[in-house]
Amino acid sequence: MANSTLKIASWNINSVRARIDIVERFLREEAPDILCLQETKVVNESFPADMFDRLGYTHRIVNGQRMHHGVAILSKLPIHEDHSHDWQDNGEARHIGAMLDCGFRLENVYIPAGGDIPDPALNPKFGQKLAFLDRMTRWSETLKQPTLLVGDFNIAPLECDVWSHKQLLDVVSHTPIEVETLGRLQASHDWVDLGRRFIPAPERLYTWWSYRAADWAASDRGRRLDHMWASPEIARNAISHKVHEPCRGWLRPSDHVPLVTEFTL
DNA sequence: ATGGCTGGTAGAACCAGA
């Protein structure tokens, strides 16, 4: 259909059940056509579907597990051919993908955080994070369909993606090895970083603030961990992109905020 | 002052997040 638009949101919600009320508020205020969630922390049988049904998000695919991780796509529009990759090869629920009627694929991913120590020899989780990215790169370099890749990447690649480049160089999420590994993934499909397409470096842009700050907004020690990457042919159709920073200040917030991109079709 | 908190699950002097 000519001149129609498609609005897609992505949010690491840190438990969809604990935050069902602010998810509803976000959907009512922003009204995306599709919402991708990460860290749903719920098994599929217990996914809180009622609110999404009430608001018209009647199409959904969920890939959850007990306690941790978990991803979901909630949609007002039909979604098809759902599938999940296990890029860590350990059974964790960190990806779900779908085909949209407009002709492109939507891939929703929760890349591992990687633990505390940025050394695979001392910290297996860090090695698993790098291996996850390498497997994604193998997948990405053979991609043929136009694709939108969204989610919590758990890496802040640019200096202006963190509150202090110098102080975070040895902190997992901003180490040179992670940035290089993520760079290979980005190069493997010429992925367009929509965040930086619309808010170019060196402007400050964060999507996550620690719960531990006494005043997250005053200290503003944020990181840009969440991303939306588009195939070049899809990126050309992106007309707006927002990071919903005020959501960090809502009652009982997630430590991440939602990203929203609007496309013309 | 980058863990100062948070959620899930158990019922913990826990685990994981990033």
Strand pairing category for A226-230 and A105-110: unpaired
Cα–Cα distance between A103 and A243 in angstroms, integer? Answer: 25
- A176: domain CATH number is 3.60.10.10
β-sheet bridge partners, residue A222: A209
Sheet with A79-83, edge to edge strand ranges:
A79-83, A95-100, A105-110, A147-152, A226-230, A192-193
Q: Nearest 5°: phi and psi at A150?
A: -130, 160
CA of A237 to C1' of B8 (A): 40
Over residues A118-164, the pLDDT tens digits come to: 999 999 999 999 999 999 999 999 999 999 999 999 999 999 999 99
Do the beta carbons of residue A107 and residue A150 sit within 8 Å?
A: yes
Nearest Cα to A146, choosing from A12, A265, A3, A1? Answer: A265
- Cβ atoms < 10 Å from Cβ of A2: 5
Q: Per the structure, how many domains does chain A have?
A: 1
- Whether residue A30 contacts residue A23, with contact meaning beta carbons closer than 8 Å, is answered with no
Strands A105-110 and A147-152 come out as parallel
Q: What is the pTM of this model?
A: 0.97
Q: Which pLDDT belongs to residue A2?
A: 56
- Distance of C1' in B11 from CA in A200, Å: 50
Q: Which nucleotide is nearest to A214 (CA to C1')?
A: B4
Which pLDDT does position A81 carry in this prediction?
82
The pLDDT of residue A77: 97
CA of A246 to C1' of B7 (A): 21
Closest nucleotide to the alpha carbon of A19, via C1': B7
CB A209 within 8 A of CB A220: yes
Distance CA A15, CA A254 (A): 8
Question: Which residues fall inside 7 Å of strand B, measured at CB?
Answer: A 12, 14-15, 17-18, 39, 41-42, 66-68, 112-113, 115-116, 125, 152, 154, 163, 168, 171-173, 208, 210-214, 219, 221-223, 225, 252, 255-256
CB-contacted nucleotides of strand B (7 Å): 2-9, 16-18
Structural domain harbouring A228? 5-264
- pLDDT beneath 50, residues of chain A: none
